[in-house]
Amino acid sequence: MQSYDAIVIGAGHNGLVTAAYLAKADKKVLVVERRPVVGGIVASEEIFSGFKYSSCAHSAGSFSTQVIDDLKLKKHGLELLPFNPLLFAPALDGDSLTITRDMGVTAEQIGRHSKSDAGKFSSFCLRLKALSAFLSTIYRLPLPNKAEPGSFNPAALVKIGWKFHRLGKKEMYEFLRVLPMSAADLVDEWFENDLLKAAVASGGMLGSFVGPRQQGTAFNLLHHQIGESNGALRTAGFVRGGMGNLSQALARAAQQLGVEIRTNAEIIKVITKNRAATGVVLHNGEEVNASSVISNADVKRTFFKLVEPTYLDPHFLLQVRNIRSRGVVAKINLALDGLPKFKNHQTAALGGIIHIGPTLDYLERTADDAKYGRFSTQPFLEITIPSIADPSLAPAGKHVMSVWMQSAPYKLRAGTWESQRDALGDAVMKVIGDYAPGFENSVLHRQVLTPLDLEDSYGLTGGHLYHAEMALDQIFFMRPVPGWSRYHTPIDNLFLCGSGTHPGGGITGLPGYYAAKTVLKSRARGK
C-alpha cells in the first residue's frame, strides 16, 4: 500500500496551492482529482471546436500575489492580462458608462452623467482601496480554533489593534461602519448617477443570495477588491490561454516540487481510525495511506459523503448541514461570429467587464427572484470577451463570451433545471440583445451551466461557486462552522482547504495557502 505525507482530495485551485506549499516543505504529496482535468471551476474547455471557454470562473484578478511569487507561477506559464477598459455599462437607451484605468479619462466619462460623481470617483476608489487593504490584513489574523484551544493569540490582536489605529480615526470608523453596510447604501452616500452606482454595487452581490440593498454586500464588495483593483473595480483578470492556464501553472509548479497528481480518480471515503484520518479509499478499491488528508471538496460533501459520521459530534454535523450554500449563479459560455454591437457601436469598450445591470433596483429585483425560487428573466449579467485581449482563444475575427448570470437559484419552486436550462439561456440571449441588437444572430454555440450542472460537474454542493455563501454570519471565525475556522476538523489529521474556509471564495488561493501553513504547523507540533 502506498503511503504519503499528505493526500489532497480534489485538484481545485486551492487544493493545488496547498499541495504545492506542502511539497515545498519537502512533504510527499498526492492530489486525487475526480475529473479528467485539474482546476475545478478554474478551467478552460474547448467544447466547441476552435473556441476555448473559461468554464466557470472568468476572472483571476484576486489571486494572491504572494502565492504567485512563492510558487513562481509566472515561470510556469501564468500571465494575467489587464481589463481594458475596466468596465462598460450600457443602458437600454443606448447611453453608457465606461470606466478606464486612467482616472482622468474616467472622470470625463462619468462627468457626462454627473459632474459631482466625476469629482468624487477617485477619492471613492482610494477610500475603498484602503479599506480592502485593511481587510486583507485582518484576513491574516489567526482565528479561534477548537483543535488548538488557547491558540487564539492575544498578541496578534494587539498587532491588529495597532494597524487599526494606524488607519487614522476617520478611516477606523469608516471600516467599522462600512463592513456591515449594504453596497447600495455605500454608493448612495457618494454618488447620484444610477448607472455608476449599479456598476460599482454589483461587485457586492456576486455569488450572494441577497441583493445590493441588503447588509453584508459592502463587505462582499471589499472582499472582491482585494488584489488587482483600483479600489472599486478589478483592473485585471484575464489569464492568457484561458482561465485553465492558472490551474495548469499551479499543477506544473506543484509537480515540479514533487507533487503527484492523479486525475480520473475519485476518492470515495476517508479512512478513519480512532478519530483520526489515516488515508483514503479510491473508486477502484485502492487504499492509500497518509499522515494528513486535506479536502478541497466543499465542507458538506466532505462530511456527508467522504467521512464516517460515527466520529462526528451531532452538533457539528448540524452546523455543517446549516451552512447556507444556495447557488445563485448560472454560467453561459458562447462562441460568437463577431463582437456584439452595443447601441452606439462601442467595440473599443468591450475589453473588460461588460456590465448589464443599469440600476440598483434592477439588481435588487434579480435577487428577489432567487428568494422566490425562480430565475431572473431580466438578469444581472457580468460579461467578458477574453478573446479581445487574447486572440488565441478563438479563430480570427471570432470571439468567446463568458457570461456570469444572477440570479439562478439552485432550488426552483416550479420545474426542474433540466427543463428550464434552455429557457434561462434564451432569457440571457434576449437581454443581451436588448442592449446589443442583432446579438442573437452572432451566436455560433451556446453552453449553459445551471447551478445543478455546476453541482454535477464540479461537485459543488448547492451549485455554489464559493462552496458556502459569503454572508456576514458565514465569514471569519464563523466559516465554515463556528469554532472550526482554521482548516482543522474534529477528525485529527483531516483538514479543509477549499473556498468554504476562511477567507472564502473569489479565486484568491488564500484558503489553500493558509491551510497548508496550518497543516505544516500541526505536523511540526507532532500531531
Partner 1 sequence: MYNYDAIVIGAGHNGLTTAAYLAKAGKKVLVLERRHVLGGAAVTEEIYPGFKYSVCSYVVSLLRPEVIRELELPKYDLEIIPLDSTFTPLPDGDHLLRSGDHAQTRREIARHSTTDAEAYEQYGQLMVQMAMAVKPLLGMIPPDPTTWNPKDLLGLARVGNHFRGLGEKLLYDLTKLMTASSADFLDEWFETDALKATMSASGIIGTFMGPRSPGTAYVLLHHYMGELDGAFRSWGFARGGMGTISRVIADAARHHGAEIKTQAGVDRVLVRNGRAYGVALDSGEEFEAKVIVSGVDPKRTFLKMVGTSHLDADFFKQVSDYKIRGSSAKVNLALDALPNFTSMPGKGPHLAGAISISPSLDYIEQAYDDAKYGNFSRRPYMDIILPSMLDPSMAPPGKHVMSIFVQYAPYHLKSGTWTEQRDAFGDTVVETLSEYAPNLKDIILHRQIVTPWDLEQEFGLTEGNIFQGELTLDQLFFLRPVPGWAKYRTPIKNLYMCGACTHPGGGVMAASGRLAALEILKDTNRTLL
Give the footprint of partner 1 on residues 370-389 (CB under 8 A). Answer: 371-372
Q: Report, in Å, the least distance between residue 512 CB and partner 1.
A: 25
CA dihedral over 248, 252, 255, 257, signed as positive or negative: negative
Give the footprint of partner 1 on residues 185-214 (CB under 8 A). Answer: 185, 189, 210, 213-214
* Contact call for residues 327 and 451 (beta carbons, < 8 A): yes
The runs of H, that is alpha helices, within 95-216 are 103-111, 115-139, 154-166, 169-178, 183-190, 194-201
Mark the segment that binds partner 1 (CB under 8 A) among 10-18, 181-189, 232-240, 344-352. Answer: 181-189
* Nearer residue to partner 1 within complex by CB, 368 or 456: 368
Mark the segment that binds partner 1 (CB under 8 A) among 91-99, 171-179, 196-204, 233-241. Answer: 171-179
* Nearer residue to partner 1 within complex by CB, 3 or 173: 173
Q: Is 483 among the residues that bind partner 1 (CB under 8 A)?
A: yes
Rounded to whole angstroms, the Cα distance separating 414 from 391 reads 41
CA R_g for the chain? 22
Mark the segment that binds partner 1 (CB under 8 A) among 73-81, 162-170, 350-358, 416-424. Answer: 162-170
Q: Which residue in the block uniquely carries the three cell numbers 493569540?
A: 153
- Entry field: residues in the chain: 527
Q: Report, in Å, the least distance between residue 269 CB and partner 1.
A: 29
Mark the segment that binds partner 1 (CB under 8 A) among 47-55, 163-171, 402-410, 517-525. Answer: 163-171
Rounded to whole angstroms, the Cα distance separating 264 from 283 reads 10
Q: Is 473 among the residues that bind partner 1 (CB under 8 A)?
A: yes
* Nearer residue to partner 1 within complex by CB, 102 or 313: 313
Q: Is 178 among the residues that bind partner 1 (CB under 8 A)?
A: yes
User: 3-state class of 165 per DSSP?
Assistant: helix
Q: Is 87 among the residues that bind partner 1 (CB under 8 A)?
A: no
Q: Binder to partner 1 among 177, 273, 283, 430 (CB under 8 A)?
A: 177
Q: Report, in Å, the least distance between residue 177 CB and partner 1.
A: 5
* Nearer residue to partner 1 within complex by CB, 298 or 364: 364
Size of the site for partner 1 (CB under 8 A): 36
Q: Report, in Å, the least distance between residue 113 CB and partner 1.
A: 21
* Nearer residue to partner 1 within complex by CB, 14 or 319: 319
Rounded to whole angstroms, the Cα distance separating 478 from 460 reads 20
Q: Is 477 among the residues that bind partner 1 (CB under 8 A)?
A: yes
2 residue type, one letter: Q
Half-sphere exposure of 367 (CA within 13 A, CB side): 19
Rounded to whole angstroms, the Cα distance separating 193 from 362 reads 14
Q: Is 108 among the residues that bind partner 1 (CB under 8 A)?
A: no
User: 3-state class of 229 per DSSP?
Assistant: strand
Q: Binder to partner 1 among 126, 317, 412, 472 (CB under 8 A)?
A: 472
462 residue type, one letter: G
Closest by Cα among 18, 86, 400, 445 to 243 = 400
* Cα distances (angstroms) measured from residue 502 to each of 14, 144, 191, 300, 508: 12, 12, 32, 15, 11
Q: Is 311 among the residues that bind partner 1 (CB under 8 A)?
A: no
Cis preceding linkage at 90, omega within 30: no
Q: Is 176 among the residues that bind partner 1 (CB under 8 A)?
A: yes
301 Cβ contact list (under 8 Å, min separation 6) = 459, 461
Tell me which residues touch partner 1 (CB under 8 A): 144, 146, 165, 169-170, 172-174, 176-181, 185, 189, 210, 213-216, 322, 324, 361, 364-365, 368, 371-372, 471-473, 477-478, 482-483
